[in-house]
Structure 1
Amino acid sequence: MHIVRNGLGPYVESWSPSAVTEDDVLSPAPVAALSALLDQPKPVTTAGDPLPPLWHWLYFLRWPAQLDLGDDGHPRHGHFLPTVPDRQRMFAGGRCEVVEPLRVGEPAQRVSGVSTVATKQGSTGELLFVTVRSEYLQHGATCVVEEQDIVYRSGRSAGRHPVDLDVTAEPHSEDAWRLPLRTGPALLFRFSALTANAHRIHYDAPYAQGVEGYPGLVVHGPLLVLTMLELVRRNAPSRPVRSVSYRLRRPAFAREHLLASGAPTGRNAALSIATHRERRHATAEVAFA
């Protein structure tokens, strides 16, 4: 693990969590639940079939005891949580390589470890970037390798998040692939339950607005990424995905009209999520096999 030291460096210079190995049977039930959330008439895949890229986020979930949650709903402690005081956590992006798709209903193993810790200066102060690398295996063979970039800040951000939250305005795109998404509180609540995400900004509007300063409930970053990948699954079902790189840029909020759009360019596809006020809340690049 490589550590770049700066102001937050002393808090993590001796922090070197060991790798963790976990097991899961990849039950068909979470696939059926997410399929229903995405308004699919039946599960998009069943036992023995390939799991769509990044749908492994439905598995290997951690459910800490209620008393181990902080006021924001995030766990106070965790094997890969750095010892930063008054910690705030944000999901920034990641990369995923698909060597072979995971199969639904078959035992799987995940081996995770911290690969990089670095501090950077952001517009609101110093940030700590932690990259967690996970390898997913079935029958002893590596199927998926993923890196997730998590950003931490120490202390609460000072200001509010001024946004023209017009829930009637619709975004537009000329891309060949388009998928609208309207994210109400019920959908965000269901996605939180599916992914064991208790962060209150996604389901507790008074907290999101009064404490965190957002204009409304915040749409989950992983939901934005999975929606972008739905463009590939629905429009290019016969093209196996070899890799995905994604970045979360600006938050989107409940009841806004969201539009996932993209287009294939040879062996790749460029994807994004837009609202009327922002063309790229999230972006992704997909490479086909």
Structure 2
Amino acid sequence: MIDLEGWTPAPHEAVQTLDAEPAAALAGLLDVPAPAADLPPLWQWLYFLDRPATAELGPDGHPAAGRFLPPIRDRRRMFAGGRFLVREPLRIGDTLTRRTELAGVEVKRGRTGELAFVTVRHTFLRDGDRIAVEEQDLVYRSGDPSFPTAEPSYLTPEVTAPWTLPMSADPVLLFRFSALTYNAHRIHYDQTYATQAEGHPGLVVHGPLLALLCLELPRREGHKVTELSFRARRPVYGDQPFVVAGSPEGELAVHAPGGVTAMTATFS
């Protein structure tokens, strides 16, 4: 039974200068020019990274404990989605304060058992002024994996949309993104662990990577995004072909093989 009553972690503040190197590294991964000034939305995920000691990691490579990690036995973590509101762009060279707080927690019962839905809010401040707010939705469960072990489809989805970006995340891309975001969760690079310990049929493509790819569509078309919302619906697995699709009307989605919609997003 998951009991999070009384779990009220205190807010936390961190200060960092947004150096150009992490953004240039992500641009290289995506095969796009590095941003010169304004940081594209969601690229803040390259900064304010937690770097726990190896001894502080759990068997899954994820931190065993942390201020905003719920105290759940045999905890398994899933990235569920989020929102981002930009009042003023985050700029390379800025020194920012990020204030992090618990915005919500709720325990629900699903078909696989109890789930803890946790929302963490990040507020970005420049010279004391609030310039952007991000919320991340994370889902935690306890116990054995719930994903099917059936072989996933590798047929390229057929998608018709004004904007499309065909993709496939091979192990090299997954490893590079894990390194850029200091994410040691083994489901993204350890095939044996992902399949045998967590029950996935292959390596798992990072949810944040899918969200970033969604935002690449309006960005590459010259649209300045100031508000967005995204929701992860199903996993995408390594080497699966998938298509990121969208339109100027503000609708975005990640289409995976077998008619699977892996992520949906809206922007304005």
How does the TM-score come out when normalised to structure 2? 0.97
Are 1:286 and 2:250 counterparts?
no
CA deviation after TM superposition for structure 1 residue 163, in Å: 3.9
Q: Secondary structure at the match of 1:196?
A: coil
Residue of structure 1 aligned with 2:219, choices 210, 233, 236: 233
Structure 2 match to 1:3 = none
- Maintained 8 Å contact 1:181/1:260: yes
Counterparts of residues 146-157 of structure 1 (less than 5 Å)? 146-157=134-145
Structure 2 match to 1:4 = none
RMSD: 1.2
Counterparts of 1:116 and 1:163, CA distance in 2: 36
Counterparts of 1:133 and 1:158, CA distance in 2: 28
Aligned residue type for 1:164? P
CA deviation after TM superposition for structure 1 residue 161, in Å: 3.3
Deviations 1:137-165 (A, max 9, x none): 11221111011111110112256332433
- Maintained 8 Å contact 2:2/2:72: yes
- Return closer, same or farther for 1:204/1:105 CA change in 2, 3 Å cut-off: same
Structure 2 residue runs without a partner (length 5+): none
- Maintained 8 Å contact 2:145/2:199: no
Are 1:204 and 2:190 counterparts?
yes
Counterparts of residues 95-110 of structure 1 (less than 5 Å)? 95-110=83-98
How does the TM-score come out when normalised to structure 1? 0.90
Structure 1 match to 2:2 = 8
Residue of structure 2 aligned with 1:264, choices 234, 245, 248: 248
Counterparts of 2:257 and 2:143, CA distance in 1: 31
Q: Secondary structure at the match of 1:142?
A: strand
Residue of structure 1 aligned with 2:200, choices 205, 214, 220: 214
Structure 1 match to 2:236 = 252
Aligned residue type for 1:242? T
Counterparts of 1:195 and 1:232, CA distance in 2: 23
Counterparts of residues 1-289 of structure 1 (less than 5 Å)? 7-9=1-3, 12-40=4-32, 42-43=33-34, 45-46=35-36, 49-157=37-145, 160-166=148-154, 169-235=155-221, 237=222, 239-265=223-249, 269-287=250-268
- Maintained 8 Å contact 1:165/1:215: no
- Maintained 8 Å contact 1:131/1:150: yes
Q: Secondary structure at the match of 1:241?
A: coil
Deviations 1:151-204 (A, max 9, x none): 1101122563324332xx211211100111111000000000101110000001
Q: Secondary structure at the match of 1:251?
A: coil
Bigger shift: 30-39 or 274-283?
A: 274-283
Q: Secondary structure at the match of 2:175?
A: helix
Aligned residue type for 1:8? I
CA deviation after TM superposition for structure 1 residue 210, in Å: 1.4
Report % sequence identity. 47
Counterparts of 2:181 and 2:68, CA distance in 1: 17
Counterparts of 1:240 and 1:255, CA distance in 2: 31
Q: Secondary structure at the match of 2:69?
A: coil
- Maintained 8 Å contact 2:219/2:225: no
